[in-house]
């Protein structure tokens, strides 16, 4: 194989690489489940170039929401407590509705492409969350 045929072969191979916006976005585990502190939720999607991920987290009884970056989200009730105003009056058996939205995005020829998917969970909240979070902070 000559140098010119090698270059021609490389050009032919490079023509077939396609750029794609995110598709087939999914969150695992799926919604409808009870989750609590320490659970990890994962967002996956295909796309070329590889998508970047952001999460929007909202509680049904909270006035605001918050965002995180990355395809894996570990639920940390100690952080969520202050951002989402989790009520300290909740009992050990109380749950609240937690909405997680995964946003997958990339850029194709300078144009942003994005897809979002949302799942709703029952978030179990610990009794005495202040004491629980204080204990975790002291352990580190």
CATH code of the domain occupying 20-139:
2.60.40.10
Let me know the angle formed at the C-alpha of 121 by 54 and 69, rounded to the nearest 5 degrees: 10
- Give pLDDT tens digits for 98-114: 899 999 999 999 999 99
- Give pLDDT tens digits for 60-82: 766 667 888 999 999 888 777 66
**What ranges do the domains of the chain cover?**
20-139
| Confidence grade of residue 19 (pLDDT, cut at 50, 70, 90) | confident
pLDDT (0 to 100) of residue 11? 44
């Amino acid at each position: 194989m000559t140098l010119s045929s090698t270059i021609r072969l490389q050009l032919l191979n490079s023509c077939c690489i396609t750029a794609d916006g995110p598709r087939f976005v999914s969150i695992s585990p799926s919604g409808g489940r009870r989750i609590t502190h320490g659970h990890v939720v994962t967002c996956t999607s295909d796309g070329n170039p590889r998508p970047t991920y952001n999460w929007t987290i909202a509680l049904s009884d909270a006035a605001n929401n918050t965002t995180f970056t990355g395809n894996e989200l570990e639920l940390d009730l100690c952080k969520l407590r202050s951002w989402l105003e989790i009520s300290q009056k909740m009992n050990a058996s109380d749950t609240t509705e937690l909405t997680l939205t995964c946003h997958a995005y990339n850029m194709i020829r300078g144009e942003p492409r994005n897809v979002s998917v949302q799942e709703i969970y029952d978030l179990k909240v610990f009794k005495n969350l202040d004491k629980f979070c204080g204990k975790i902070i002291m352990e580190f």
